[in-house]
Structure 1
Amino acid sequence: DDLSVRALFGDGAAATLIEAANDNDGRIGAAVYGSDGSGAGRLIVPGGGAREPGGSPHLFMDGAAVMAFALKEGPAAVARLLEQTGASLDDFDLIVPHQASRMVLDGLRRRLGVPPERFVVDVESMGNTVGASIPIALARLPAAPAPRRILILGFGVGLSWAAADITL
């Protein structure tokens, strides 16, 4: 057990229901994504399971390297999405990133130049729920009178990243 990572993670799950609609209230737009397998060893469960039954079944994370990756690839993914859509960050009502840690989120917000009121931070309430963090953050948003255009940004294991333009 690596005590340095144990306190970082919350516990949660999410399911997303997508259905056809005849209105413009909801939309899944453009997306960009990628992965750099050369960084896989920086955030990994190195053993356990059928492949490595004798190996360590505990998460290993090189925190400094993962943070550097998030602060480099997160803004780069956003830039690629904006280029693909012809939009600017000002066209989005909210930015909902993966809820990695407060330190990573503060760094991302500063690098993107987004005001705090448009950059969703929910990590203090829920912890880092890994792949469920974006859907949980979306579900916890206050209700809005009209659909909102939202940029979602994920990054993590692999090392991988994605950004998408959605309307909810």
Structure 2
Amino acid sequence: MPAYSRILGSGSYLPERRVSNADLAAQLAADGVETSDAWIQERTGIQARYFAAPNQCSSDLALPAAQAALQAAGVEAADIDLIVVATTTPDMTFPSTAALLQAKLGVHGCAAFDVQAVCSGFLYALSVADAMIRAGNARKALVIGAEVFSRLLDFKDRTTCVLFGDGAGAVVLGASEEPGILATALHADGRQAGVLCVPQGEYVHMDGQAVFKLAVGALEKAAHEVLEKAGRTADSIDWLIPHQANLRIMKGTAKKLGLPEERMVVTVHEHGNTSAASVPLALDAAVREGRVQRGQTLMLEGVGGGFTWGAALVVY
């Protein structure tokens, strides 16, 4: 059995419709909701987000992200023997978005399933795929976060509708004898379900202050947990790639780890909170910009409704 799984390539996709803060403020004003670019940026660091077209579903966003990751990895879709999609916004109740994506990739037969842990979903999916590869149950896995979160938003609630956007990010994992995913940690606390949730038939409900307090503490603990598992210290982290939810939370996490902000990948300003897609989106952006290099150590982190959180220490 392989000692590790390793990221072979990454990809991402954002829908065509870019909505700036000014665009969103104008849209909300038509419904009597007041906000502004300055108000949004001051509280979140977000400048824009992307919204899927009415006919686009999560699998539609996942497909180009998956294809880009496969191309970057030099792997054919037919070589994939595991597809795990993290999504809060599946195309259908069933079948899974992963099964629908598999068909769109033109392949069949391999295991394909969804994981639902909201904004922590990609970390959950990555950990599951890593475990299956290490156990010898897969050789190459496609791990994707894909969301059309805009469909869960109440555009009369400015405290939530300004935060989220749509998108997809993907990685290809392969079995390796060389260090790759060094350690992962996953956690949940269902007692905190009410602080961030979408009740049946409703829109996103969020207690922003409670989320902020829980997120910073949980992410710090998860980061130290994976560092301890891997026998590393925070000094070994080349890049912190946190869930792109809110710039204040992200800066708070970096500070807790003693990392300078210059070593944190930030893309939230461009696409907002894309839930399960945000970590792989940020990773892919940093790889394609040449910031993340082979051999560097990455700390990936996510936190979301559930309340869920997780971290992964990765040698890229």
Whether these two folds match at TM > 0.5 is yes
Alignment match, 1:44 = 197
User: Is 2:277 the counterpart of 1:132?
Assistant: yes
Alignment match, 1:10 = 165
TM-score normalised by the chain length of structure 2 = 0.48
Deviations 1:141-163 (A, max 9, x none): 02255321111111111011111
Deviations 1:87-134 (A, max 9, x none): 111112111110111111121122221111211121111211111100
Question: How far apart are residue 167 of structure 1 and its match?
Answer: 1.8
Alignment match, 2:12 = none
The structure whose Rg is larger is 2
Question: How far apart are residue 20 of structure 1 and its match?
Answer: 3.1
The alignment yields a C-alpha RMSD, in angstroms, of 1.5
Unpaired segments of 5 or more residues in structure 2?
1-153
Change (3 A) 1:14 1:29: same
For 1:29 and 1:99, how far apart are their aligned partners in 2? 22
User: Is 2:175 the counterpart of 1:27?
Assistant: no
**Which secondary structure does the structure 2 equivalent of 1:14 belong to?**
strand
Moved more, 59-68 or 119-128: 119-128
Unpaired segments of 5 or more residues in structure 1?
49-56
User: Is 2:207 the counterpart of 1:59?
Assistant: no
Change (3 A) 1:33 1:145: closer
Give the number of the structure whose residues are more often strand, by fraction: 2
Alignment match, 1:52 = none
Question: How far apart are residue 21 of structure 1 and its match?
Answer: 4.5
For 2:308 and 2:251, how far apart are their aligned partners in 1? 20
Q: Choose the corresponding residue for 2:294, options 137, 146, 155.
A: 146
Amino acid at match of 1:34: H
Q: Identity of paired residues, percent?
A: 37
Q: Choose the corresponding residue for 1:122, options 267, 271, 291.
A: 267
Change (3 A) 1:14 1:116: same
User: Is 2:242 the counterpart of 1:94?
Assistant: no
Amino acid at match of 1:70: A
Q: Choose the corresponding residue for 1:112, options 227, 242, 257.
A: 257
Question: How far apart are residue 14 of structure 1 and its match?
Answer: 2.0
Bigger relative contact order (CA 8 A; separation at least 6): 1
**Which secondary structure does the structure 1 equivalent of 2:168 belong to?**
coil
